[in-house]
């Protein structure tokens, strides 16, 4: 067997001949010979441009010492607890009413950085960011193995980093993209392993064992990885059903034993907080909206990937990438769950980047392998060589996102015929609506609160809120963890987790409500009022708003006890 099973074709059998239209004579032919290279150069420039934008955003986030996305601080708290040898899966009924709802691996990986540098937001942001670079590298490697065209491999890898979704969340202190990294590595390795097995006629159990470890790592980074686990085992089943079953048994056993061990070690809090609390209401409109957005933004890579899956289904052989793409696209429906979002499509984006690279590679090889080399065949080659980079350019245009906070970036956006600013009213849940403000960030995903690099004003605002909390003696009852972490005080509860538990009748709020009623907290800080209704009720009765501070496009309400 050859690479035919892997990409749907055999690259080794290619009689690849470089296109050199100049040899055919005439300046027109010479232009056509240069045109593909020019377009490839432009496409590479566009995607390297997105890489630069991604770096700018990431560096600004590394410098920002507070929550940029609401859940970040709680992931830092999880890491902090692990660094102290404690589980973050705790009883929410008693002070500090805190528990995590995520598996541990991402936080455990960051623990050494927290030991070295303390509870800093940049630690997890850096690890997540590096994870996305590794994912892009793995995508490029997968395409390179299948096609051996460096520019196509580079474009496929960079397409992933250029996705609006990856840009928004890739450098946040969130575990999602770290899961995507493990998923991508596992899928790439299983593709390589099975290809080698079928080529060499022997098994490579150690490589498969590594695939299982990577899948386990993905699942214990975030629960959503189950779709990739299913995809890998379906692929193994299609190739050798008995082998798939024999690997599935120990894999299931180890996964289950780890689950039971953590549950035993946390007195059942693991099951309650990571499974029960994640049974959230499904919002069909949210799922539909996100599907539409995903498809619209990633139009080229999604359509090409879909067509290549159909080709493999009916003409070639289904690769693990095709099954992975289908599983991830279907699993996108889980983005309709309350609390979920666009990042749930990141796995589908990774799969579509690989499939697009392989599909184009297949097409280019097919065009080059055509014999005899008739004038029509030569033209076909040139047309395909022109269309492929053009499609990448079209994809680059659809993904457009760029901060325009510097004159240089603003000039680039203007030169590209894009808007240089948007006007967005700050989000507020506890004050009068505020007028729209100029935001130096444009995004084809629409009005987004993620993506705009935080600036000096945001840092000053965060410090101002922390200073207001510091006037009191106790930890603040705050919707963001960052302010208490900044002051070295306790982090009190995680509002979204508390709401999840409340909605599932899995938390007793008695002690918390009593503390709020007794004004045991000197300060309450609200951002979006995600707390359960009884908590908000008692807050309203016993506390009043004294200060409004705007940070990252949100109005934070600082409340003090009513006298």
Partner 1 sequence: MMQSSNNDSPSPLPWAIVWAMSRMVLWLRRPISKRQLGLGLFLLGLLAIVGMLAIDLLGAGQFQGIGPAQRRTMLVAGLVAVLGLSLWPLGDRPA
Task: Give the dihedral sign, CA 63/345/294/531.
Answer: negative
Contact in structure between 532 and 502 (CB atoms under 8 Å)? yes
82-to-21, 43, 469 alpha-carbon distances in Å: 62, 44, 26
| x/- track of binding to partner 1 for residues 78-97 (CB under 8 A) | --------------------
Q: Which of residues 489-518 bind partner 1 (CB under 8 A)?
A: none
Choose between 234 and 464: whose C-beta lies nearer to partner 1.
234
| x/- track of binding to partner 1 for residues 412-451 (CB under 8 A) | ----------------------------------------
Contact in structure between 128 and 177 (CB atoms under 8 Å)? yes
The single residue among 299, 303, 318, 536 that binds partner 1, judged by CB under 8 A, is 318
Alpha-carbon torsion, ordered 112, 117, 118, 120, to 10 deg: -100
Q: Which of residues 265-284 bind partner 1 (CB under 8 A)?
A: 284
Choose between 315 and 408: whose C-beta lies nearer to partner 1.
315
Binding segment toward partner 1, per CB under 8 A, in 43-51, 138-146, 154-162, 310-318: 310-318
Contact in structure between 159 and 395 (CB atoms under 8 Å)? yes
CA–chain centroid gap for 470, Å, is 35
Which candidate, 529, 523, 491, places its Cα nearest to that of 74? 491
The single residue among 63, 317, 459, 463 that binds partner 1, judged by CB under 8 A, is 317
Residue tagged 């209401």 (tokens): 281
In DSSP terms, 410 is beta-bridged to none
308-to-305, 321, 322, 325, 493 alpha-carbon distances in Å: 5, 10, 8, 11, 47
Q: How far apart are CA 385 and CA 40, in angstroms?
A: 9
Provide the residue count of the chain.
563
Cβ 2 to partner 1, closest distance in Å? 14
Residue tagged 């596992």 (tokens): 186
Contact in structure between 558 and 548 (CB atoms under 8 Å)? yes
Cβ 287 to partner 1, closest distance in Å? 10
Choose between 322 and 498: whose C-beta lies nearer to partner 1.
322
Cβ 234 to partner 1, closest distance in Å? 10
Binding segment toward partner 1, per CB under 8 A, in 25-33, 313-321, 454-462, 555-563: 313-321
Choose between 18 and 281: whose C-beta lies nearer to partner 1.
281
Choose between 201 and 284: whose C-beta lies nearer to partner 1.
284
Cβ 242 to partner 1, closest distance in Å? 4
Choose between 317 and 405: whose C-beta lies nearer to partner 1.
317
Cβ 293 to partner 1, closest distance in Å? 19
Which candidate, 299, 305, 286, places its Cα nearest to that of 356? 305
Cβ 317 to partner 1, closest distance in Å? 6
Choose between 246 and 260: whose C-beta lies nearer to partner 1.
246
Contact in structure between 128 and 178 (CB atoms under 8 Å)? yes
In DSSP terms, 282 is beta-bridged to 337
Choose between 284 and 372: whose C-beta lies nearer to partner 1.
284
Task: Give the dihedral sign, CA 483/488/494/495.
Answer: negative
The single residue among 314, 376, 432, 456 that binds partner 1, judged by CB under 8 A, is 314
Choose between 36 and 336: whose C-beta lies nearer to partner 1.
336
Q: Which of residues 230-249 bind partner 1 (CB under 8 A)?
A: 237-242, 245
Contact in structure between 282 and 333 (CB atoms under 8 Å)? no
Cβ 315 to partner 1, closest distance in Å? 9
Cβ 235 to partner 1, closest distance in Å? 10
> Which residues, at least 6 apart from 379, have a Cβ–Cβ distance to it below 8 Å?
none
Cβ 206 to partner 1, closest distance in Å? 21
Contact in structure between 322 and 355 (CB atoms under 8 Å)? yes
Cβ 12 to partner 1, closest distance in Å? 20
Contact in structure between 207 and 162 (CB atoms under 8 Å)? no
Q: How far apart are CA 178 and CA 132, in angstroms?
A: 7
Q: What are phi and psi of 401, to 5 degrees?
A: -155, 135
Binding segment toward partner 1, per CB under 8 A, in 158-166, 314-322, 504-512, 536-544: 314-322
Choose between 185 and 358: whose C-beta lies nearer to partner 1.
358
Choose between 284 and 488: whose C-beta lies nearer to partner 1.
284
CA–chain centroid gap for 556, Å, is 26
Choose between 281 and 435: whose C-beta lies nearer to partner 1.
281
Which structure tokens are listed for 460?
């000053």
Choose between 280 and 420: whose C-beta lies nearer to partner 1.
280
Residues touching partner 1: how many (CB under 8 A)? 12
Which structure tokens are listed for 198?
């079928």
Side-chain-side CA neighbours of 136 within 13 Å: the count stands at 25
Cβ 336 to partner 1, closest distance in Å? 11
Residue tagged 């193995």 (tokens): 145
Q: How far apart are CA 107 and CA 118, in angstroms?
A: 14
Cβ 490 to partner 1, closest distance in Å? 41
Cβ 548 to partner 1, closest distance in Å? 41
Question: Is 199 a binder of partner 1 (CB under 8 A)?
Answer: no
CA–chain centroid gap for 1, Å, is 36
Cβ 318 to partner 1, closest distance in Å? 6
Residue ranges in contact with partner 1 by CB under 8 A: 237-242, 245, 284, 313-314, 317-318
């Amino acid at each position: 067997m050859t690479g035919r099973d892997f990409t749907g074709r055999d690259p080794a059998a290619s009689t690849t001949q470089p296109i050199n239209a100049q040899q055919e004579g005439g300046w027109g032919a010479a232009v056509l010979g240069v045109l593909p290279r020019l377009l490839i150069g432009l496409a590479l420039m566009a995607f390297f441009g997105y890489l630069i934008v991604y770096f700018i955003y990431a560096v600004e986030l590394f410098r920002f010492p507070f929550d940029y996305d609401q859940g970040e601080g709680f992931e830092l708290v999880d890491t902090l607890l692990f660094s102290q040898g404690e589980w973050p899966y705790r009883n929410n009924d008693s002070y500090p009413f805190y528990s995590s709802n995520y598996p541990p691996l991402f936080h455990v990986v960051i623990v050494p950085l927290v030991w070295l540098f303390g509870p800093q937001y940049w630690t997890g942001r850096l690890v997540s960011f590096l994870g996305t670079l590794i994912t892009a590298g793995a995508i490029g490697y997968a395409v390179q193995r299948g096609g051996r065209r460096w520019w196509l491999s580079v474009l496929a890898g960079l397409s992933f980093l250029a996705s609006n979704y990856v840009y928004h969340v890739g450098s946040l202190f969130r575990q999602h993209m770290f899961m995507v990294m493990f998923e991508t590595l596992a899928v790439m390795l299983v593709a390589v392993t099975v290809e080698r097995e079928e080529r060499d006629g022997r098994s490579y159990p150690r490589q498969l064992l590594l695939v299982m470890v990577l899948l386990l790592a993905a699942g214990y980074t975030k629960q959503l990885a189950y779709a990739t686990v299913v995809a890998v085992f379906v692929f193994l089943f299609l190739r050798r059903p008995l082998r798939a079953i024999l690997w599935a048994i120990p894999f299931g056993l180890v996964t289950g034993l780890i689950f039971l061990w953590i549950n035993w070690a946390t007195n059942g809090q693991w099951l309650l907080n990571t499974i029960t609390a994640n049974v959230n209401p499904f919002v069909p409109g949210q799922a539909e909206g996100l599907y539409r957005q995903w498809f619209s933004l990633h139009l080229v890579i999604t359509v090409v990937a879909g067509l290549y899956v159909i080709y493999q289904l009916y003409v070639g052989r289904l690769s693990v990438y095709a099954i992975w793409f289908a599983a991830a696209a279907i699993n996108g429906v889980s983005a309709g769950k309350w609390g979920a979002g666009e990042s749930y499509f990141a796995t589908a984006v990774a799969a579509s980047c690989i499939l697009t690279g392989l599909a184009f590679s297949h097409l280019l090889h097919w065009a080059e392998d055509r014999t005899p080399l008739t004038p029509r065949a030569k033209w076909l080659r040139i047309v395909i060589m022109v269309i492929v980079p053009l499609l990448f350019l079209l994809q680059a245009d659809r993904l457009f996102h760029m901060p325009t906070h510097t004159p240089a970036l603003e000039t680039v956006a203007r030169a590209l015929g894009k808007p240089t600013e948007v006007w967005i009213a700050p989000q507020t849940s506890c004050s009068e609506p505020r007028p729209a403000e100029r935001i130096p960030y444009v995004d084809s995903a629409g009005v987004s609160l993620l993506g705009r690099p935080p600036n000096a004003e945001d840092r000053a605002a965060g410090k101002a809120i922390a200073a207001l909390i510091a006037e009191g003696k106790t930890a603040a009852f705050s919707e963001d963890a960052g302010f208490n972490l900044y002051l070295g005080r306790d982090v009190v509860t995680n509002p979204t987790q508390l709401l999840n538990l409340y909605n599932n009748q899995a938390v007793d709020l008695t002690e918390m409500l009593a503390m709020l009623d007794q004004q045991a907290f000197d300060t309450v800080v609200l951002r979006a009022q995600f707390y359960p209704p009884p908590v908000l009720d008692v807050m309203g009765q016993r506390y009043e708003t004294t200060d409004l501070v705007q940070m990252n496009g949100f109005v934070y309400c600082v409340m003090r006890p009513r006298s």
